[in-house]
């Protein structure tokens, strides 16, 4: 494989381009992440499951003191509510259900819980009196005490639990306590899936129609030109809005999900407009190639037009298909983010998406919490940038005039 | 025996434009051309760029459907045959193309290009295709090991040899060579021409050699037709071109050729003006606008081809005015 690539001029140029190699490495990492998610590494429901207190910052930074106090109080309130149940059995049952982040409560007697809770609330009452917690040293010391009290309510985590917690909380949590890291990584799979599927289908449709139009000319050409002029006059987003509504109103189930909850409306809407680009390019190239002498030689040898098209014309447009594929892939990912932001693309049931994350982070940004929007946009930025560099490099590599 | 007979062949290309893509005109690339090619001979076709020589060759090869007229190959009229009916004819007539850089598919190895044709026409049993390709490579003077390479790994001359090998792969009787050496260096031209001469002798090929280089044609061909703006203006044997050529256009072409001997002098004939547009050709003789001997009649009426000697026909009112006795082989173009 590698040797075949090295044998071609374009392949050598691509491998000599360091930017392209770097971009390919990054894309490889993203693809690996996408495949990991696809193989069941992260389920869509897990994306939507809280793993810790809400809005804790990433890189294990300390949350503002106010926030820490509220989080500690929330945990205490949950335990308090469980202990307020009428019978000891129901109290125990409620306590068993409580989970603080990933941790279960410690297995101690109800009386011990009462004692711990009382102690914690005593510290909490002291703290609440403090007017300016952030700059109050004794207050901060008390807060640390309170947090250790709250932590002592929960069972000591096992080593694997600790590792998981480290990973899940590495980029913080969102307003519902869901792991930003997990959601951002899951979104890679959604983005890659939408990008690859739409780019492949669009390039396939565009290449076939473009090649037929260019090669056979006449009414086929007129029909294809009419078709793509018509489709390109429909604004992409408007078509998508229409399709999103249409799909959400029809009751068809695919793989046990309502069709509106899957990615199918997104695929259909993107493919409807995305095939136009490759179609134009491939048609133009086919027009050029079909006048070349090796195509005429194929005719004088007696080969059928369809054979000539498949054997001599299409293989010489592969570079354009590749370039268009990488361009459309970026286009699809960017459009998907915009649509999900507008609540028209990926639905919550399908897991997470960068667009959904950016939408969710609107209220957080007002509270100076940038971790969610930061994670989503950074991952998208790197991915799109890497693909842009790659498609540029592809274009350079395949351009015979570029040295 | 006449292998190829072309009768009143016309090829016009429609020009579309205006509202609803109507046909608004036509480019008259080949106009009422008639000639024959004897088995075993080499016929040269000369004329300047845009005179329709390549179109003539490609129409004979049925790369373009003819607008009117017949092409008879080996007694069969091939001007209206469908693709499958053409297949047996395709095995007998092949084409060598002009530009070696675009005549080979860049994504196919040489073995692929040569083997494809061989397999398609079942020239040899499938198991022998590899050996046959080796043989072809040897025939055109290339190493059989090179057949696994791609076209870009070869020089122009080598690519042209491969183009020749592809034409020979089906073991044809007749080959249209469309300016096979005009894209090559002069040193390589001679090699390729000698190769073609050798192959012609070896396989008893009949050649139609399209060129704009009178020297090459004079060296290589038995007979010559001179074309101007889609018309045949003179048809003659190549034995003694400088003396025999009668048509003022042929003479002008000969005059444009440099002479090897610095002491030899000849009157300089320089053609004024340019070839008229085939889209809108003038009435009368197509050459009238640039001819030194032009008369009023030339501007009105197109001269027919008139026989003035053995294998010598000229279309010119001044050089060969038609009489009742002389057979007229071509009607004045309408």
For residues B90 and B83, what is the distance between their CA atoms, to the nearest angstrom?
A: 9
**Assigned domain for B69 exists:** yes
**What are the tens digits of pLDDT across the range A284-316?**
999 999 999 999 999 999 999 999 999 999 999
Inspect the interface and report whether the beta carbons of B63 and A299 lie closer than 8 Å: yes
Domain with B189 in it: 2-92+172-314
> Once rounded to an integer, what is the mean pLDDT over residues B199-213?
92
- Strand-pair partners of B76: B73
Cα distance between residue B153 and residue A13, in whole Å: 16
Q: Are residues B158 and B194 both part of a single domain?
A: no
Which pLDDT score is estimated for B96? 94
The neighbouring-strand residues paired with B208 are: B43, B176
CB contacts, 8 Å: B109 with chain A: none
pLDDT band at B6 (very low <50, low <70, confident <90, very high): very high
pLDDT digits (tens, 9 = 90+) for B252-309: 888 888 777 888 777 777 777 788 888 888 888 888 888 888 888 888 888 888 888 8
Same domain, residue pair B282 and B177 = yes
Strand partners, B210: B45, B178
Return the pLDDT at A402. 60
Could you tell me which residue, B213 or B142, shows the higher pLDDT? Answer: B142
Residues in contact with B177: Cβ distance below 8 Å, sequence separation at least 6, in sequence order: B95, B96, B196, B207, B208, B209, B210
Alpha carbon B210 to chain centroid, angstroms: 3
Which B positions 92-111 lie with beta carbon below 8 A of chain A? 94-95, 97-99, 102-108
Q: Are residues B199 and B136 in the same domain?
A: no
Please state, in angstroms and as integers, the Cα–Cα distance from residue A13 to each residue in A28, A102, A284, A323, B154, following that order: 19, 50, 25, 15, 20
- Which is more confidently placed, A140 or B114? B114
Contact A297 B90 (CB under 8 A): no
Q: How far is A274 from chain B (nearest CA, A)?
A: 28
Q: Cβ–Cβ of B63/A9 closer than 8 Å? A: no
Residues B132 and B202 in one domain: no
Q: Are A277 and A324 a contacting pair, CB within 8 Å? A: yes
B62 and B145 belong to one structural domain: no
d(CA A288, CA B247): 39
Are residue B292 and residue B180 in the same domain, yes or no? yes
Provide the pLDDT for residue B46: 92
Measured in angstroms, the CA of B292 and the nearest CA of chain A are apart by: 38
B35 and B155 in a single domain? The answer is no
CB pairs under 8 A between A and B: 56
Coil, helix or strand at residue B223 = strand
Q: Look at residues B146, B166, B173 and name the one whose alpha carbon lies nearest to residue B73.
A: B173
| CA–CA min distance B26, chain A (Å) | 17
- Which segment of B37-46, B214-223, B273-282 scores lowest on mean pLDDT? B273-282
Residue B328, CB-side half-sphere exposure with 13 Å CA sphere: 14
* Rounded Cα gap, residues A276 and A278, in angstroms: 6
State the pLDDT at residue A11. Answer: 84
Give me the number of domains chain B comprises: 2
**B140, B250: one domain:** no
Amino acid B332: pLDDT = 43
Question: B321 lies in a domain?
Answer: no
Please tell me the predicted confidence (pLDDT) of residue A403: 55
Minimum distance, in Å, between the CA of residue A292 and any CA atom of chain B: 6
As a 3-state breakdown, chain B gives helix, strand, coil percent values, each rounded to 5, of 35, 25, 45
Rg (CA), chain B: 21
Rounded to the nearest 10°, the torsion over CA A389, A395, A401, A402 is 10
**Residue B327: pLDDT band by 50, 70, 90 thresholds?**
low
- Alpha-helical runs (H) found in B204-244: 214-220, 241-244
Residue A301's nearest CA partner among B255, B333, B171 is: B171
In chain B, which residues have their Cβ closer than 8 Å to the Cβ of A291?
Answer: none
Q: How far is B105 from chain A (nearest CA, A)?
A: 6
What is the pLDDT confidence band of residue B329, given thresholds at 50, 70 and 90?
A: low
Complex prediction ipTM: 0.87
Classify the phi-psi angles of B49: left when phi > 0, otherwise alpha if psi is within -120 to 50, otherwise beta: beta
Give the residue from A301, A317, A398 with the most B CB atoms within 10 Å of its CB, the best one to mutate: A301
Query: Does B331 map to a domain?
Result: no
**CA distance readout (Å), A278 to A193, B70, B156, B234:** 20, 42, 33, 50
Per-residue b or e along B91-108, where b marks 16 or more CB atoms closer than 10 Å to that residue's CB: bbbbbbbbbbbbbbbbbb
Percent of chain B with pLDDT over 90: 50
Task: Decide if B120 touches A, using CB distance below 8 A.
Answer: yes
Tokens found for residue B265: 């002098």
Residues in chain A whose Cβ is within 8 Å of chain B: 9, 292-294, 296-297, 299-304, 311-312, 315-316, 318
pLDDT value, residue A400:
66
Binary contact (A293, B98; C-beta < 8 A): yes
One domain, residues B154 and B178: no
Tokens (6 digits) for B249: 């256009």
| Domain assignment present for B323 | no
Q: Look-up: residue for tokens 């459309």?
A: A328
Rounded Cα distance, B62 and B68, in Å: 13
How close, in Å, is residue A293 to chain B by CA atoms? 4
| CA–CA dist B97, B177 (Å, integer) | 6
All domains of chain A in start order, with CATH: 2-44+181-398 (1.10.3720.10), 65-159 (no CATH)
Among B121, B143, B165, residue at a domain's last position:
B165
Does the CA dihedral B260-B262-B263-B268 come out positive or negative?
positive
Task: Reply yes or no on whether the pLDDT at B326 is more than 70.
Answer: no
Tokens of A371: 């971790």
> What's the count of helices (H) and strands (E) in chain B, helices before strands?
10, 12
pLDDT digits (tens, 9 = 90+) for B135-174: 999 999 999 999 999 898 899 999 999 999 999 999 999 9
Say if strands B22-38 and B42-46 run parallel, antiparallel, or are unpaired: unpaired
Backbone CA torsion sign across A212, A213, A216, A218: positive
Query: What pLDDT, on a 0 to 100 scale, did the predictor assign at position B334?
Result: 40
Looking at the domain assignment, is residue B326 inside a domain?
Answer: no
Q: Are B45 and B21 in contact (CB under 8 A)?
A: no
Residues B33 and B50 in one domain: yes
pLDDT of B187 reads 86
Q: Specify whether B123 is located in the same domain as B262.
A: no
- Comparing CB atoms, the residue among B98, B120, B152 nearest residue A303 is B120
- Domain presence at residue B34: yes
Helix, strand or coil, per DSSP, at residue B50:
coil
Cα nearest neighbour of B176 on chain A = A300
pLDDT tens for the 403 residues of chain A, in order: 677 777 777 888 888 889 999 999 999 999 999 999 999 888 888 888 888 888 888 888 888 888 888 888 888 888 888 888 888 888 888 888 888 877 888 888 888 888 888 888 888 888 877 777 777 788 888 888 888 888 888 888 888 888 988 899 999 999 888 999 999 999 999 999 999 999 999 999 999 999 999 999 889 999 999 999 998 888 877 887 888 778 878 877 777 777 777 888 888 888 988 999 999 999 999 999 999 999 999 999 999 999 999 999 999 999 899 999 999 999 999 988 988 898 888 887 778 899 999 999 998 898 889 999 999 999 999 999 999 999 889 888 887 666 5
Rg of chain A in Å (alpha carbons): 29
- Residue in B3, B4, B162 with CA at minimum distance from that of residue B97: B162
Mutation for A interface: B102, B150, B152, B178, most A CBs within 10 A? B102
Residue B231 φ then ψ, to 5°: -110, 150
Residue B333: its pLDDT value, please? Answer: 42
Per-residue pLDDT, averaged over B123-139, amounts to 93
Residue written as tokens 């890659």?
Answer: A192
Assess if residue B28 is contained within a domain. Answer: yes
Distances (CA, A) of B242 to B45, B213, B236, B239, B251: 16, 14, 11, 9, 8
Q: Is residue B31 part of a domain?
A: yes
CATH number of the domain to which B210 belongs = 3.40.50.300
Neighbours of B271 (CB within 10 A): 17
Half-sphere exposure for B56 (CA within 13 Å, toward CB): 35
Asked if B148 and B233 sit in the same domain, the reply is no
- Provide the pLDDT for residue A401: 63
Listed in sequence order, the residues at least 6 apart from A54 whose beta carbon sits closer than 8 Å to its beta carbon are A71, A173, A174, A175, A176, A177
Q: Does B87 touch chain A (CB under 8 A)?
A: yes
Candidates B95, B99, B107; nearest CB to A300: B95
């Amino acid at each position: 494989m590698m040797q075949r690539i090295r044998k071609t001029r374009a392949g050598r140029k691509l491998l000599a381009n360091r930017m392209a190699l770097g971009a390919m490495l990054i894309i490889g990492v993203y693809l690996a992440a996408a495949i990991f998610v696809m193989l069941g590494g992260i389920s869509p429901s897990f994306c939507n499951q809280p793993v810790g207190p809400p809005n804790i910052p990433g890189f294990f930074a300390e949350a503002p003191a106010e926030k820490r106090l509220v989080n500690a109080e929330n945990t205490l309130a949950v335990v308090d509510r469980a202990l307020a149940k009428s019978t000891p059995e129901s109290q125990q049952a409620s306590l068993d259900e409580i989970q603080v982040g990933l941790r279960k409560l410690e297995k101690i007697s109800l009386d011990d819980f009462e004692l711990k809770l009382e102690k914690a609330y005593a510290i909490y009452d002291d703290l609440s009196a403090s007017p300016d917690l952030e700059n109050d040293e004794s207050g901060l010391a008390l807060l640390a005490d309170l947090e250790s009290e709250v932590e002592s309510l929960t069972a000591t985590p096992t080593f694997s639990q600790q590792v998981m917690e480290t990973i899940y909380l590495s980029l913080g949590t969102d307003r519902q306590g869901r792991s930003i890291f997990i959601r951002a990584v899951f979104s890679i799979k959604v983005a890659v899936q939408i990008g690859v599927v739409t780019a492949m289908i669009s390039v396939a449709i565009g290449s076939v129609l473009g090649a037929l139009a260019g090669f056979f000319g006449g009414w086929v050409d007129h029909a294809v030109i009419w078709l793509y002029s018509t489709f390109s006059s429909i604004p992409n987003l408007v078509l998508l809005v229409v399709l999103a509504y249409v799909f959400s109103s029809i009751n068809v189930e695919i793989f046990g999900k309502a069709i509106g909850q899957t990615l199918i409306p997104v695929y259909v809407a993107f493919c409807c407009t995305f095939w136009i680009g490759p179609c134009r390019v491939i048609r133009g190239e086919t027009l050029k190639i079909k006048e070349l002498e090796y195509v005429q030689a194929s005719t004088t040898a007696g080969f059928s037009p369809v054979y000539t098209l498949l054997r001599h014309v299409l293989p010489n447009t592969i570079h354009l298909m590749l370039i268009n594929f990488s361009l459309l892939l970026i286009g699809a990912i960017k459009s998907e983010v915009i649509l999900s932001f507008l609540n028209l693309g990926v639905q919550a049931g399908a897991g997470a998406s960068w667009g959904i994350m950016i939408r969710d982070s609107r209220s957080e940004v007002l509270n100076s919490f940038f971790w969610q929007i930061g994670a989503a946009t950074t991952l998208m930025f790197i991915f799109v940038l890497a693909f842009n560099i790659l498609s540029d490099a592809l274009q350079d590599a395949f351009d015979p005039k570029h040295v | 025996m006449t292998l190829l007979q072309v009768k009143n062949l016309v090829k016009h290309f429609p020009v579309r434009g205006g509202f609803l893509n109507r046909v608004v005109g036509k480019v008259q690339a080949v106009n009422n051309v008639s000639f024959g090619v004897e088995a075993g001979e080499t016929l040269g076709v000369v004329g300047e760029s845009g005179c329709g020589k390549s179109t003539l060759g490609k129409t004979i090869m049925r790369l373009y459907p003819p607008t009117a007229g017949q092409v008879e190959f080996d007694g069969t009229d091939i001007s209206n045959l469908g693709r499958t009916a053409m297949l047996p004819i395709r095995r007998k007539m092949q084409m060598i193309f002009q530009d070696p850089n675009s005549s080979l598919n860049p994504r196919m190895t040489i073995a692929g290009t040569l083997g494809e044709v061989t397999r398609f026409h079942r020239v040899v049993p499938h198991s022998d295709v590899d050996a046959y390709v080796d043989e072809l490579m040897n025939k055109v003077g290339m190493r059989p090991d090179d057949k696994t390479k791609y076209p870009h790994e070869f020089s122009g001359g080598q690519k042209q040899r491969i183009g020749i090998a592809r034409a020979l792969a089906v073991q044809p009787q007749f080959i249209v060579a469309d300016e096979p050496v005009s894209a090559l260096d002069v040193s390589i031209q001679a090699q390729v021409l000698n190769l073609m001469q050798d192959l012609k002798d070896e396989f008893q090929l009949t050649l139609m050699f399209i060129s704009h280089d009178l020297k090459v044609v004079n060296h290589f061909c038995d007979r010559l037709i001179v074309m101007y703006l889609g018309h045949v203006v003179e048809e003659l044997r190549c034995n003694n071109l400088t003396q025999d050529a009668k048509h003022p256009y042929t003479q002008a072409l000969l005059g444009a050729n440099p002479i090897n001997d610095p002491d030899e002098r000849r009157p300089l004939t320089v053609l004024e003006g340019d070839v008229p547009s085939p889209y809108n050709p003038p009435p009368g003789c197509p050459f009238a606008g640039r001819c030194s001997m032009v008369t009023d009649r030339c501007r009105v009426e197109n001269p027919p081809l008139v026989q003035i000697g053995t294998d010598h026909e000229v279309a010119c009112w001044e050089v060969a005015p038609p009489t009742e006795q002389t057979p007229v082989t071509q009607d004045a173009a309408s």
